[in-house]
Every structure is written in structure tokens, then in C-alpha cells.
Amino acid sequence: MKHWNFGHKIVSPYTGAEIHLSRSSAMGGGYYGNTLTGLIPDMFDAMDVVSRELVGYIPGVMRNTGAERAAVGQNVTYHVAPSANIADITPAMTVPNPTDQTIGAGSLVITASKAAEFGFVGEEQRGLNSGPGALSVQGDMIAQALRGLANLIETSVAGVAHLGASRALAPTGSAVLFDTNVGDAAQGRKILDDNGTPLSDRSLVIDTSAGASLRTLMQLTKVNEAGTSMTLRDGQLLDLHGMSIRESAQAVQFTKGTAASSTTDNAGYAVGATVITLASAGTGAIKAGDVIAFAGDSNLYVVASGDADVSGGGTITLAAPGLRQALAASATAITVSADYSANVAFARSAIQLVTRAPALPDEGDVAMERFILTDPRSGLTFEVSVYGGYRKVRYEVAIAWGQKVVKPEHIALLMNQT
């Protein structure tokens, strides 16, 4: 019987990624240890062959893989730095006491723990070995498991990113982003700049329609103007206006609410207000994700939470930092923007993604072998386990995760209204 040592490391010949065997094998572990070792090259080879959708959010957000102790449904706490205290300088012979400040805290929850699984019986493996080879087929199936789980996580992050955006912008001169120039990216950057977003580590995640528009712009494909042949020869997107351009196949396709002829009440609202009360006017409902404008204000605001029946009043909540322009103490008309595909500009620290391997009992379980695998496409780390039964084996690729927008001020929504 062969036993792997804890921390045994294998380096992929295809990507250079490291695979760590996380526990020693037992109960026939020699066979399964050899199986996993032989499977790894086929697995990485399969990653380059199996269809993989584009993931743009996962590489761009803040990833926290250190939440091993948090259970599904349990809060993971993070700190929130308070605003700076600004004081007049008054010369004195004694050093003034610093003003007390309260360090804020927020929390997010690990909401999902999922596994992609498949299995074989001995006769199936014998049959495969007389054809394509059992290890090659298993490698393809693990690559498909990584694909499916990565797409789920990308969808989860995309779903919170657009809802947490501070403000939005519509394409200039067209319903399609980047139809004629890269000015839309500049306007997205302006929203971030106006909100004081850190200049470093910014991303703009776009859908494939916006990506196609960018690739057809002459200023990016003319080498003398772009300064490189990356877009012309390889189709790679250049960084624009200090933002790393990424594409996602899981961009949110948002259908607007049914509200029509809605207005605010006559209370009046100051700059920075986020909770707006509606008058009992109009029909339909304003829902979370709607992009709205108030009469007399050119800003487009994202509704962070709503589902308010406008005929019955109710309230809607705008994402921070709220109103950029005060609303008068009179009923103000509300316009709801059209359906859109969500393209999102953000700083890495604005969106948190917590991932870890699913929890095991203190006593362990009956897995015969287990290792930790980092997907080179998404950067996510998954747990791959092998469970032995009676003349049958189960493979499982698993991960637990949670996501949250922690700084809406550092997120802007660019609507592709195709």
C-alpha cells in the first residue's frame, strides 16, 4: 500500500500550476494514489480542450481563501475604515489628543457549498482503457466540473456587482457600448474618480458584445495608434484609462421593472440621501437593479433594493453614495431606463469573494484520496476527492463560497442596451 505524505506537491507540465495532495491515502490508497498521480497531466491537458466560458469577475475581485473555519450560513467579518478626521492646526506646547474613532465592521456569508461529481465501475474503466483511456476521460470530466463550478461562482459575483453599483451610465450616441470610440470607459472611470475610488487595481468587466465592439475600433487595431499589435493579431483587449478590461460570459441580462409615471413624495432629499419615498402615483413597480433618473438631475442611479409598488408609495434604496444632486420638496418625476446587459467597472477591494474547501468532520470521511487543485483559467482553488465503493468509484470536485459588495462607491455600471 502506497501513502502520500502531507503537502506532497506536483507541478503541471502544461501550466506550471501546483497541485497539493492534502492527506495520505488509506484503505487501498496505493491504487488510488497512483490513479490521481497519473490523472493530473490528462486533467491539465483537458482544460485546454474542454469548452470554457470567459470569466472576468473572479480574477478582478478581492479573493479571500482564508475562511476555512466559517460554516455555510456563518458570517465572515471584515473591517471598514472610518472617514478621516480633519482638524485645524493650532500651535501649542502640548500634543493634542487624537480624536477617538470607531472602526466599522461588515460581514458576508458563505452561502453555497457545491460539488460536481461523477463515477465509474470497474468494467467501465476496463472498457475505456481499451479505447481512449480511463484517465483521459476522467481528466475531461474533471475539467467539465471545474468549468461548471467556475461559471456558477462567476454568475454569483456578477449578480451582486451590478446591484451594488453607485451610479450608471448609458452608451454615448448609441445603445451599444464602444460603438464608435472608447469614451464610455472614460465616463465609467469618471464615476469612480468622483467617488474617490483608489486609482490602482481597477477592472472593467464587459460582456462579449461590448468586447466585439472594442475589437473593431480602428484606434485599437492600428498598431501605430494603439502602440501594440495585441488586439489586431491576438484579439487581446488592452487596458483602458487605468482599468484592466476583462470579459465575462456570465454578464447579467437585466429586465427593468414595470414602473410608469412614478414620482417621489414632496419631502425633499439632500445630497447623499439613499432612501427615497415614492408618492402614490403611477403604475407598476421599481425593482432592485433598475437604473433611474430624477427630473432635473442628469445622474443615473442604481436601485440597490426596491420592488416598490409605485401606486402604493413605498421606498427605494439607492446604492451609496446616494444622491449627487438634492431633490426639491415637491413631487419629482422618476424615469426608469431600458433593459440592459451589465458591464461593471470597479476597484478590486469593492467586491469580496470568499472561497474554501467544503468542511470535513473532525474525524475525516471515507475519501480514499484528496488533493487541492488550482484552476489556471479562473484562479479558483477546488478540492478533488475520490471515494471508493464496492467495485465502483466516485470522483468529486467541490468548493464553498460567498460574495458581497462591500464598497458600492467604488463600482460603476455601464449599460449595454442591445
Question: Using an 8 Å Cβ cutoff, are 322 and 397 in contact?
Answer: no
Whether residue 152 is contained in a domain is answered as yes
Nearest one of 52, 35, 56, 44 to 15, comparing CA atoms: 44
DSSP category for residue 35: H
Whole-structure pTM value: 0.78
Nearest one of 153, 138, 43, 33 to 376, comparing CA atoms: 43
Averaging pLDDT over each range in 27-31, 63-67, 165-169, 220-224, which range is the top one? 165-169
Query: pLDDT tens for residues 284-305?
Result: 989 999 999 999 999 999 999 8
Query: pLDDT tens for residues 380-416?
Result: 889 889 898 888 889 899 999 999 999 999 999 999 8
Segment 211-237 mean pLDDT? 52
Whether residue 55 is contained in a domain is answered as yes
Which pLDDT does position 159 carry in this prediction? 93
Segment 251-263 mean pLDDT? 92
Which pLDDT does position 398 carry in this prediction? 92
Whether residue 146 is contained in a domain is answered as yes
- Mean pLDDT of the residues in the chain: 79
- pLDDT higher for 275 or 235? 275
Query: pLDDT tens for residues 145-202?
Result: 888 999 999 999 999 999 999 999 988 767 788 887 788 889 999 999 999 999 888 9
Quick one: CA torsion of 119, 120, 121, 125, rounded to 10 degrees?
A: -170
Where is average pLDDT lowest: 62-71, 99-108, 366-375? Answer: 62-71
Whether residue 142 is contained in a domain is answered as yes
- List phi, psi (to 5°) of 412: -130, 140
Whether residue 93 is contained in a domain is answered as no
Overall number of domains in the chain:
1
**Phi/psi zone of residue 173: left (φ > 0), alpha (ψ -120 to 50 degrees), beta?**
left
Asked whether the predicted pLDDT for residue 14 surpasses 60, the reply is no
* Range of the structural domain that residue 29 is part of: 8-66+109-160+351-405
Whether residue 89 is contained in a domain is answered as no
DSSP category for residue 23: S
